[in-house]
Structure formats: structure tokens, C-alpha cells
């Protein structure tokens, strides 16, 4: 048949579309043929949605053989994660896979790393939205954005055929050099727990199971498989464990991942105190405990002490567990409890009632829009001398953009949370999966968006690799914008000094051009020996796929910055509780000798004094305080009232400038003297958008856990009778109002 070229092209396209639809249908029928709704409720009474998730789980459990139970409590192998390992036939090519029970219509569990977007997309040419890092999300202080963040992840997981997210990191940024801080939500238990809890809630709103990790005290990567953490019990409950408690209570997550490290001499994944006493009893956690990958060290101890599922394989929870159950070393009731917890979470989140079939293409535009919006709320304006920002598009005639590959994209964090960039690494584009610990740049070039924002200006780029050349380049322009970056990744910790001579770059440019602005893309805090030399500083975290546009929008004032620091920036590592990371020397030596890191302790002598609490109690001046973040408008605080009975406060915030903006108003409390604390605690906050001249009175309940101390004798959080000094302000150090709350009971 002689068809014109365009018609031929159309028919080829049409045939391709039909073929792919048929393929997807075939694949979904064969590979994912487990629709749970196939048989009638009478034959499968657990499909009766009017029963509770617990009742439904018990009905399934009653049908299971010992082998089926065992099959359900471990992964089916490393699959795509380890080169050369077989890939289980129905695995969706994520980090983990546990086969379901086909004869009962219980679906497989397909788990994907997804702390910041769905990992390993390139393996199957699938796109996933890269969101700003969770640390950036915490800088929004917005529970709404945390929910949205989770929704994006849940939506894209589901579209890609996964029914479980592994993300939800809530380890406190107790150690600013931790290479995974970018995956977590900062240093304060209330802020981190609330952000991550809402994130996991957002994931689960998409009928995808969520998890919270790494439980607990996995606060450094140095020697993470061997470090033994010690901390006073009260301090433990008021810091790291409190963050988990808050996140778990908010989200009721399907799972909690136990961590690699030891706690008080016992591996976290077989630690009765952490898993059974605190998590399952005190927090009333109803889901299951999944091991971190290869984080299981025993069968009987792990099973008896509260771990419920081994991933990604069945070395300890496969045949070995079956034998332990048969010999009575592990009671069958404990195995039943493990399976019950898994099934209950599957019913509770809806993965049985709403199976993930068929696979769909994700909506990249929706993802991009959401990612950009969150990035815009997350960027923190740290410094703005002489109101250098926002830049005026009309009055700025020449702009020197320098460094950090700002001409091609934005940086992301490394490790198991790394998302694949569309088209490959933007600085070296080859399609494919990210390499372990190799910095990956996403195609969202700040340079392009700066040019769009200032169409009349001469905007030029210099790579910044030679500070002298960069300074000469910047000298004659109206303004110099230097991008600096700090790559961080799982499995390593990082000094806070910027790598690659970037401090010298900033110094040289600032010396050449008095109107220098620095934009930081980082996974945690950094040192700034040039802080007094530059006019403006933005912390953009790892800003995600909408990052380039978001940064330009802040620089030119299309968006008024509203982010606030979720982590204290120190002036020097010497001011930290551990001037050197515990075990650092041992780990360096072991790496040199090609030997495993020997056992060592991390003594958390700072106790609950994490971040700003440490700085305040030690009377050390931070570089930028927790909660700090400037705006292009100004806010005034007034009229603080406390309600002793309701334990809440109200106050008024007014936008006293000429631009619309949002203020994150923070409430800190000093406990009565009997608490023996020398620091304030964050107890509430609100993100308040205000038009110019507008004022708003907000009433905020103070979190009861933040008004209490953990009483080790009674094993309870107890409020202390007495006077609580309440402070309201725009950061932990910039406090505007104070009053006294009297607690009698
Ligand atoms: C990480 C986990 C991750 C798992 C699976 C481990 O190395 O600690 O956070 O979910 O790998 O990729």
C-alpha cells in the first residue's frame, strides 16, 4: 500500500501504541496476575472490607501453612541490587521482593527505595520525579508539603508497579557530617517526626505501604555496621526515639526498618528494648519491623526480640527460622505475629483492595510542578546584606554565574535513595542507572532560568574551577552568583568544609565583586569561611528536578523565600559535641588496610542536646541558628497569650513590609527547673502566609510530649508542675515574645 510519509509515520506510531498496550496487558496478566478481587467474598472472607485490618489478617493467617508463613517473612534475594544475582521472576526490579500467597489472592510485596523519588527507574526506562531532599522538605516546615511529597512518591510508585515505599528516614541530624542527613528531616524531634510522619501519610494515601527508618540511632555512616551507640535512657526517649514516636503515631506506617548499628551492645535488628519494649509496646506500633538490607545477624534472637521480616533475602528468616519454629526455639505464636503484622498493614493501607495493576506511565508534568513548589518553599535565605536580593531584572545589566555546573543542572544526593536522572547524569549524559556514590546532576539548569528571569541582562557562565579566572570573569558584572556544592551519600560521612577548593573560589570572586551572592547545594550544613565577604547566601539543599527554576524564582523575587533551617549551621567542627566523628580514625585506618572496621562505641554524651539545644546549653554561637530564614518582607509579633489549662498559646503576626510572604513562627519552651535542662525545646510552630499589611492571630497547642520529661522509673512522659517559660520568635535565637505557662498537673 502506498501511503504518504506522514500517514505511514502515523500508522507505525499507532501500531506501536497498540502493541505496547497489548504488551502491558500481557505483562500485567502474566507477571502480575494476582488480582485479589477475583473470587467472591464468601470464598475469601478476608476480602470483606467491613472487617478491621486485624480481623482480615487473622482470617488469612488461619489459612496459611508453615511454609507459606515463612515465605512471607523474608525477601526472595538481592535481585537487581547485586550484580550476577538472579532476579525473582515476579519482582518489579526494586530493592526488595517478597512473593504473595497466590491461592489466597494476597499480592506480592514489591519494595522500592523512594526517599526522594522512585529509585532505579532507568533499569526499565521509567521516569521518576526527583523531589527536593527531605532535609529541604523539613526546611519548609510545612505539613501540607510533606503530605504532597509523600503523595508524589506514592503515586509514582503505584504507577510503576510497586506497592511499598522504603523511605521515611527520620534519624536526627545529631551528627552534621552524616552522609545521609539529606535523606532525613533535621535535628529537632518534633519537626522531623511531624514532617516524616506526614510524608509517610501521603505515601499511604495512595494505597502504597510506607515505612519509617532507620530505627534507631543510625546517626552516622562511619562504621555503621559495627558502631555501638550509648545514650542515657531519658535522653534517648526525648531525642532520637521521640522523632520516631511522633512520625509513627502520625502515619501508622506499614513498616519500620531496623538499622545496621548496635544500640547498648545489641544490634538494632535484634534489640528487645528498641523493637519490643519501645516500638511495639510503648509506641503501640502495629506494623512490621523489616531489617535494613543485610542488617540481620541472627534467627532466634532477631525473631524473639521483635524483628518481623528479613530483607532482601532469607538467610536467617528462611529455612533457619522454619527449623527454629519446629524445634520450639521460636514459638509459632511469634511467627504468627510477624505474618499478622504484615497482612494487617497490607489491608490497612489498601494494597490488597487496590492492587497496583496495570502499570502506567507517571505524569512527569504533575511531578515537576509539585517538586518545584516544594523547592520554592524549602530554599532558605541565610543572609541578605544591603537587600541585595531580590535582584531586579530591569536594573541588573550583567550577571556572572559561576560554578557547580549551574549551566547544566542541580546536584542530588547519593546512595540507595539516588534517583536516576532522565537521560542520565546531566554533566555526562549517558542513559542508565546511577553509579554508587557518583554525584548525579539533574537537568534543571539554574543558568537557563536566570537568563529567562533577566532577559535583557548579559548572563554568562564560568565553571569556577580556577578561582583567579572566575574572579576576573566576575569583576565587571553587576552581580556575581557563585554556586557551590557538597555531594554527600549513604555509606560515607563528610567534613563540613566545601570540597574542590570552592572556599577559595567564593573568596576570590567576592574580593573581585562586592555584589556576590552564594547559592549552596548541599546535603547537610557547611562551613562558610567567606560568610562576611559576600552579600547574599541561599541554602538550596538538593533542590530536585524543579530546582533551577525555583532558585531563579527566589533570586529575582517571583517567589518570596520562606524556608527556615531544620539544622544548625556551626562556625566550626570544634563546636560540635564530637569535634571528630566517633570511629573516624579507625574507619580511615581500616579502609587503608582493606580490613573491616573494628568494633567501637559512639557515646552520645550530649544526650538530648541535639543541634540548637547543644549550642544553647554550651553557650556556643552558631553560624546560623536552627529556625533561621529571612524573607523579602518583614514581620512583627505581638499579643502573646498563654492558656494554662489548654496548654496552648496565641499570638499575632503582621506582615509589615510591602510584599506578600509567609512566616514560620516558632514556639520554644523552657521547662521548670526540676527538668534540669539548660536549653529550650521547640513545642509548636505555624507557617503563616500574609499579604502586605495583613495580620493574623494564631492559636497553637503545645505538643504535650515537648512539655514533658521522660520518667525512666514510670516509663512515661510526665509533665512537670511549675512555670514554663514560653518564647515565640522567628528562629531558635531570634525570639520576640515571652510569657509564662503555669502547669499544675
Ligand atoms: C539502606 C536502606 C535501603 C536499603 C535498600 C540500605 O543500604 O541503608 O536505607 O533502603 O539499603 O536499598
- C-beta 261 within 6 A of ligand 1: no
- C-beta 130 within 6 A of ligand 1: no
**What is the distance in A from the centroid of ligand 1 to the CA of 699?**
40
User: What CA–CA distance (Å, rounded) separates 517 from 533?
Assistant: 10
Reported confidence tier of residue 359, pLDDT bands at 50, 70, 90 = confident
The answer, yes or no, to whether residue 256 has pLDDT greater than 80, is yes
- C-beta 166 within 6 A of ligand 1: yes
Closest ligand 1 atom to 169 CA: 9
* Range with lowest mean pLDDT among 103-112, 123-132, 137-146, 199-208: 123-132
The answer, yes or no, to whether residue 19 has pLDDT greater than 80, is no
Angle between helices 364-378 and 547-555 (to 10 degrees): 40
- C-beta 624 within 6 A of ligand 1: no
- C-beta 242 within 6 A of ligand 1: no
**What is the distance in A from the centroid of ligand 1 to the CA of 293?**
6
Which residues, 6+ apart, have CB-to-CB distance to 641 below 8 Å? 649, 650, 651, 739
**What is the distance in A from the centroid of ligand 1 to the CA of 490?**
9
**What is the distance in A from the centroid of ligand 1 to the CA of 583?**
21
Listing DSSP states for 574-596 in one string gives GGSSSSS-TTHHHHHHHHHTT-P
The answer, yes or no, to whether residue 16 has pLDDT greater than 90, is no
**What is the distance in A from the centroid of ligand 1 to the CA of 416?**
6
**What is the distance in A from the centroid of ligand 1 to the CA of 146?**
21
User: What CA–CA distance (Å, rounded) separates 628 from 575?
Assistant: 19
The answer, yes or no, to whether residue 264 has pLDDT greater than 70, is yes
Residue nearest to atom 8 of ligand 1 (CA): 292
**What is the distance in A from the centroid of ligand 1 to the CA of 717?**
32
Reported confidence tier of residue 648, pLDDT bands at 50, 70, 90 = very high
3-state helix, strand, coil in the chain (%, to 5): 30, 20, 45
CA-based angle 688:693:698, to the nearest 5? 30
CA distances (Å), 384 to each of 121, 555, 561, 590, in order?
Answer: 39, 11, 11, 44
Closest ligand 1 atom to 119 CA: 12
Listing DSSP states for 240-253 in one string gives HHHHHHHHHHHH--
Q: How does pLDDT run across 553-584, given as a tens digit for each residue?
A: 999 999 999 999 999 999 999 999 999 999 99
Task: State if pTM tops 0.85.
Answer: yes
Angle between helices 143-159 and 189-204 (to 10 degrees): 40
Closest ligand 1 atom to 224 CA: 8
- C-beta 113 within 6 A of ligand 1: yes
Residue nearest to atom 2 of ligand 1 (CA): 292
The answer, yes or no, to whether residue 7 has pLDDT greater than 90, is no
The proportion of the chain whose per-residue pLDDT surpasses 90, expressed as a percent, equals: 91
User: What CA–CA distance (Å, rounded) separates 217 from 242?
Assistant: 11
Residue nearest to atom 3 of ligand 1 (CA): 416
Residue nearest to atom 4 of ligand 1 (CA): 293
- C-beta 95 within 6 A of ligand 1: yes
pLDDT confidence of residue 42: 73
User: What CA–CA distance (Å, rounded) separates 645 from 707?
Assistant: 13
Which helix (H) or strand (E) segment holds residue 538: the answer is strand 536-539
pLDDT confidence of residue 360: 84
The proportion of the chain whose per-residue pLDDT surpasses 70, expressed as a percent, equals: 94
Give the mean pLDDT of 456-461: 98
- C-beta 293 within 6 A of ligand 1: yes
**What is the distance in A from the centroid of ligand 1 to the CA of 436?**
12
User: What CA–CA distance (Å, rounded) separates 602 from 718?
Assistant: 28
Q: How many CB atoms lie within 10 A of CB 345?
A: 26
User: What CA–CA distance (Å, rounded) separates 114 from 105?
Assistant: 26
Cell 512515661 sits on residue: 716
Closest ligand 1 atom to 113 CA: 10
**What is the distance in A from the centroid of ligand 1 to the CA of 305?**
22
Reported confidence tier of residue 55, pLDDT bands at 50, 70, 90 = very high
Which residues, 6+ apart, have CB-to-CB distance to 511 below 8 Å? 471, 533
Q: How does pLDDT run across 597-625, given as a tens digit for each residue?
A: 999 999 999 999 999 999 999 999 999 99
What is the Cβ-side half-sphere exposure of residue 164, based on CA atoms within 13 angstroms?
Answer: 31
- C-beta 292 within 6 A of ligand 1: yes
Residue 546 in grid coordinates: 524543579
CA distances (Å), 457 to each of 216, 391, 392, 449, 569, in order?
Answer: 51, 11, 10, 13, 34
Reported confidence tier of residue 41, pLDDT bands at 50, 70, 90 = low
Closest ligand 1 atom to 183 CA: 9
**What is the distance in A from the centroid of ligand 1 to the CA of 108?**
20
Cell 542513559 sits on residue: 431
Angle between helices 547-555 and 446-453 (to 10 degrees): 40
Give the mean pLDDT of 703-729: 97
- C-beta 246 within 6 A of ligand 1: no
Q: In 3-state terms, what secondary structure has residue 323?
A: helix
User: What CA–CA distance (Å, rounded) separates 715 from 278?
Assistant: 10
Which mutation among 75, 118, 157, 293 tests ligand 1's pocket best, with the greatest number of atoms within 8 A of CB? 293
The answer, yes or no, to whether residue 10 has pLDDT greater than 50, is no
Reported confidence tier of residue 710, pLDDT bands at 50, 70, 90 = very high
pLDDT confidence of residue 31: 34
Q: How does pLDDT run across 319-331, given as a tens digit for each residue?
A: 999 999 999 999 9
User: What CA–CA distance (Å, rounded) separates 332 from 311?
Assistant: 20
Residue nearest to atom 6 of ligand 1 (CA): 293
pLDDT confidence of residue 8: 37
State the alpha helices, DSSP H only, in 134-184: 134-140, 143-159
| CA-closest candidate to residue 629, choices 735, 519, 538, 526 | 538
The answer, yes or no, to whether residue 651 has pLDDT greater than 60, is yes
Give the mean pLDDT of 46-70: 98
Q: What is the mean pLDDT of the chain?
A: 94
Which mutation among 212, 261, 292 tests ligand 1's pocket best, with the greatest number of atoms within 8 A of CB? 292
CA-based angle 104:305:288, to the nearest 5? 35
Which mutation among 77, 165, 166, 178 tests ligand 1's pocket best, with the greatest number of atoms within 8 A of CB? 166
CA distances (Å), 201 to each of 168, 240, 254, 281, 426, in order?
Answer: 10, 20, 10, 22, 32
- C-beta 211 within 6 A of ligand 1: no
pLDDT confidence of residue 357: 76
- Alpha carbon dihedral 487, 493, 497, 503, in 10-degree steps, equals -20
**What is the distance in A from the centroid of ligand 1 to the CA of 311?**
10
Residue 353 in grid coordinates: 483492595
For strands 648-655 and 635-643, give the pairing.
Answer: antiparallel
Sign of the Cα torsion 593, 599, 605, 611 reads positive
Q: In 3-state terms, what secondary structure has residue 397?
A: coil
pLDDT confidence of residue 9: 38
Q: How does pLDDT run across 176-214, given as a tens digit for each residue?
A: 999 999 999 999 999 999 999 999 999 999 999 999 999
Residue nearest to atom 11 of ligand 1 (CA): 293
What is the Cβ-side half-sphere exposure of residue 95, based on CA atoms within 13 angstroms?
Answer: 24
Reported confidence tier of residue 433, pLDDT bands at 50, 70, 90 = confident
Give the mean pLDDT of 668-682: 97
- C-beta 416 within 6 A of ligand 1: yes
The answer, yes or no, to whether residue 22 has pLDDT greater than 80, is no
CA distances (Å), 56 to each of 49, 52, 309, 348, in order?
Answer: 8, 6, 20, 9
The answer, yes or no, to whether residue 345 has pLDDT greater than 90, is yes
- C-beta 372 within 6 A of ligand 1: no
Amino acid at each position: 500500500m502506498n501511503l504518504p510519509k506522514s500517514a505511514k509515520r502515523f500508522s507505525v506510531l499507532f501500531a506501536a501504541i497498540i502493541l505496547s498496550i497489548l504488551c502491558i496487558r500481557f505483562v500485567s496478566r502474566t507477571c502480575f496476575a494476582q488480582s485479589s478481587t477475583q473470587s467472591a467474598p464468601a470464598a475469601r472472607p478476608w476480602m470483606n472490607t467491613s472487617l478491621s485490618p486485624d480481623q482480615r489478617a487473622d482470617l488469612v493467617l488461619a489459612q496459611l501453612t508453615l511454609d507459606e508463613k515463612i515465605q512471607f517473612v523474608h525477601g526472595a534475594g538481592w535481585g537487581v541490587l547485586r550484580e550476577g544475582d538472579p532476579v525473582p521472576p515476579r519482582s518489579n526490579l526494586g530493592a526488595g521482593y517478597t512473593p504473595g500467597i497466590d491461592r489466597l489472592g494476597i499480592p506480592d510485596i514489591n519494595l522500592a527505595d523512594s526517599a526522594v523519588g522512585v529509585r532505579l527507574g532507568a533499569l526499565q526506562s521509567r521516569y521518576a520525579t526527583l523531589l527536593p531532599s527531605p532535609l529541604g522538605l523539613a526546611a519548609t516546615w510545612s505539613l501540607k508539603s510533606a503530605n504532597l511529597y509523600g503523595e508524589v512518591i506514592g503515586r509514582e510508585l503505584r504507577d510503576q508497579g510497586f506497592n511499598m515505599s522504603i523511605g521515611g528516614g527520620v534519624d536526627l541530624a545529631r551528627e552534621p557530617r552524616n552522609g545521609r542527613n539529606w535523606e532525613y528531616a533535621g535535628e529537632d524531634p518534633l519537626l522531623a517526626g511531624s514532617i516524616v510522619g506526614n510524608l509517610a501519610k501521603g505515601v499511604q494515601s495512595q494505597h502504597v505501604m510506607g515505612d519509617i527508618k532507620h530505627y534507631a540511632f543510625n546517626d552516622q555512616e562511619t562504621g555503621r555496621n559495627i558502631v555501638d551507640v550509648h545514650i542515657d535512657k531519658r535522653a534517648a526517649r526525648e531525642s532520637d526515639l521521640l522523632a520516631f514516636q511522633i512520625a509513627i503515631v502520625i502515619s501508622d506506617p506499614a513498616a519500620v526498618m531496623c538499622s545496621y548499628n548496635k544500640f547498648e551492645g545489641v544490634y538494632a535488628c535484634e534489640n528487645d528494648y528498641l523493637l519490643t519494649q519501645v516500638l511495639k509496646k510503648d509506641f503501640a506500633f502495629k506494623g512490621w519491623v523489616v531489617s535494613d538490607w543485610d542488617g540481620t545477624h541472627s534467627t532466634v534472637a532477631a525473631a524473639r526480640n521483635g524483628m518481623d521480616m528479613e530483607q532482601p533475602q532469607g538467610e536467617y528468616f528462611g529455612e533457619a527460622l522454619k527449623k527454629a519454629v519446629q524445634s520450639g526455639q521460636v514459638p509459632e505464636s511469634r511467627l504468627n505475629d510477624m505474618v499478622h503484622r504484615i497482612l494487617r498493614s497490607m489491608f490497612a493501607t489498601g494494597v490488597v483492595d487496590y492492587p497496583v495493576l496495570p502499570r502506567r506511565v507517571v505524569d512527569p508534568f504533575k511531578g515537576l510542578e509539585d517538586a518545584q513548589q516544594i523547592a520554592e518553599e524549602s530554599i532558605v535565605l541565610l543572609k541578605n546584606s544591603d537587600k541585595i536580593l531580590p535582584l531586579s531584572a530591569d536594573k541588573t545589566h550583567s550577571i556572572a554565574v559561576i560554578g557547580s555546573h549551574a549551566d547544566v543542572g542541580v546536584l542530588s544526593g547519593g546512595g540507595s535513595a539516588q534517583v536516576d536522572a532522565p537521560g542520565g547524569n546531566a554533566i555526562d549524559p549517558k542513559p542508565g542507572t546511577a553509579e554508587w556514590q557518583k554525584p548525579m546532576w539533574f537537568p534543571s539548569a539554574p543558568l537557563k532560568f536566570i537568563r529567562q528571569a533577566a532577559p535583557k541582562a548579559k548572563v554568562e557562565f564560568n565553571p569556577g574551577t580556577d578561582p583567579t579566572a572566575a574572579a576576573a570573569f566576575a569583576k565587571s558584572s553587576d552581580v556575581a552568583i557563585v554556586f557551590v556544592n557538597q555531594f554527600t551519600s549513604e555509606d560515607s560521612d563528610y567534613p563540613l568544609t566545601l570540597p574542590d577548593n570552592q572556599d577559595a573560589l567564593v573568596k576570590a570572586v567576592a574580593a573581585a565583586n562586592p555584589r556576590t551572592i552564594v547559592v549552596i547545594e548541599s546535603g547537610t550544613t557547611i562551613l562558610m569561611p567567606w560568610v562576611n565577604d559576600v552579600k547574599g547566601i541561599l541554602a538550596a539543599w538538593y533542590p530536585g528536578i524543579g530546582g533551577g527554576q525555583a532558585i531563579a524564582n527566589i533570586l529575582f523575587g517571583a517567589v518570596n523565600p520562606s524556608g527556615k533551617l531544620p539544622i544548625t549551621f556551626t562556625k566550626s567542627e570544634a563546636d560540635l559535641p564530637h569535634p571528630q566523628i566517633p570511629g573516624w580514625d579507625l574507619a580511615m585506618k581500616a579502609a587503608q588496610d582493606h580490613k573491616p572496621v573494628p568494633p567501637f562505641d559512639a557515646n552520645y554524651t550530649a544526650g538530648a542536646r541535639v543541634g540548637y539545644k547543644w549550642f544553647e546549653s554550651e553557650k556556643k554561637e552558631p553560624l546560623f541558628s536552627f529556625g533561621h530564614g529571612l524573607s523579602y518582607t518583614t514581620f512583627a509579633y505581638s499579643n502573646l497569650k498563654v492558656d494554662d489549662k489548654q496548654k496552648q498559646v496565641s499570638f499575632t503576626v503582621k506582615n509589615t513590609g510591602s510584599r506578600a510572604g509567609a512566616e514560620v513562627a516558632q514556639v520554644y519552651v523552657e521547662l521548670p527547673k526540676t527538668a534540669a535542662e539548660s536549653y529550650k525545646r521547640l513545642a509548636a510552630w505555624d507557617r503563616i502566609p500574609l499579604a502586605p499589611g495583613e495580620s493574623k492571630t494564631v492559636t497553637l497547642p503545645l505538643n504535650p510530649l515537648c512539655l514533658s520529661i521522660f520518667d525512666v522509673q514510670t516509663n512515661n512522659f510526665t509533665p512537670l508542675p511549675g512555670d514554663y517559660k514560653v518564647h515565640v520568635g522567628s528562629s531558635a535565637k531570634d525570639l520576640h515574645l515571652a510569657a509564662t505557662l503555669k502547669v499544675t498537673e
